């Protein structure tokens, strides 16, 4: 795999609490230059990113219930709908980790499905399909919990499962990606994110089964 090819896997990410408008402009310009799949920004910057990236082919990705996932179901659904109405093409929602740890699988399913329905209800034109990704934060989960969340995400109609926020105690690992891919098969995408700093790490995660990579070191990865 070449560095040019790997660019198409990358969600170029700027989720710092202190990100400025200039940071977002730089992020978008780099995404267009290198051909990254999307720019991932906090909800506040969705309208700005959507305006900059219109017509470039680079998608606008945002985060929901980020980074803790402890919002109510209604909060997550309404935030997702608002972001889509403002131009987001993809929403990465953090699962409720407390519900996961308590084994409240009906609630986990309900919130993923609520976000799915919320974004589908926004009138984006007949040809636009909003992508929903479910962030597991795998550093806090054992293998059984990872499998169970992936199953609920698949059942709820999400498009991807995603390893991490990048704000937890650990990021993407080959083991987690392999387990997620084994669980969802070819029915969903798998996004690896968090702690991906080199071309070699990116390739290893793709070979483990990742379809998408969330990276803030994107330029370094493709330029070596």
Question: Over the range 132-155, which residues count as b (16 or more CB within 10 Å of their CB) and which as e?
Answer: bbbbbbbbebeeebbbbbbbbbbe
Task: Exactly one of 11, 89, 92, 159 is catalytic; name it.
Answer: 92
CA dihedral 193, 196, 202, 205 (to 10 degrees): -50
Helix/strand/coil for 127: coil
Residue 75 among the catalytic residues: no
Residue 104 among the catalytic residues: no
Rounded to the nearest 5 degrees, what angle is found at the Cα of 62, between the Cα atoms of 164 and 145? 30
Residue 182 among the catalytic residues: no
- By CB atoms closer than 10 A (0-12, 13-18, 19+), residue 60 is buried
Task: Exactly one of 59, 76, 152, 191 is catalytic; name it.
Answer: 191
Helix/strand/coil for 178: helix
Q: Which residues are catalytic?
A: 92, 162, 191
């Amino acid at each position: 795999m070449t560095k040019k090819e790997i660019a198409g896997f990358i969600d170029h990410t700027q989720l710092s609490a202190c990100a400025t408008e200039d940071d977002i402009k730089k992020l978008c310009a780099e995404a267009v230059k290198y051909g990254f799949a999307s720019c991932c920004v906090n909800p506040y910057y969705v309208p700005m990113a959507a305006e900059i990236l219109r017509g470039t082919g680079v998608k606008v990705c945002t985060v929901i219930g980020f980074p803790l996932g402890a919002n109510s179901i209604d909060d997550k659904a309404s935030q997702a709908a608002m972001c889509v109405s403002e131009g987001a093409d993809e929403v990465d929602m953090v699962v409720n980790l407390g519900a996961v740890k308590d084994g409240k699988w009906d609630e986990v399913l309900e919130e993923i499905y609520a976000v799915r329905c919320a974004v589908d209800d926004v009138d984006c034109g007949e040809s636009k399909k909003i992508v929903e990704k479910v962030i597991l934060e795998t550093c806090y989960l054992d293998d059984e919990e990872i499998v169970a969340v992936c199953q609920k995400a698949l059942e709820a109609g999400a498009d991807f499962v995603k390893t991490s926020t990048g704000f937890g105690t650990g990021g993407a690992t080959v083991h987690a990606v392999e387990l997620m891919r084994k669980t969802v098969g070819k029915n969903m995408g798998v996004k690896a994110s968090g702690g991906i700093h080199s071309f070699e790490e990116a390739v290893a995660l793709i070979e483990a089964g990742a379809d998408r990579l969330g990276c803030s070191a994107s330029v370094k990865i493709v330029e070596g």
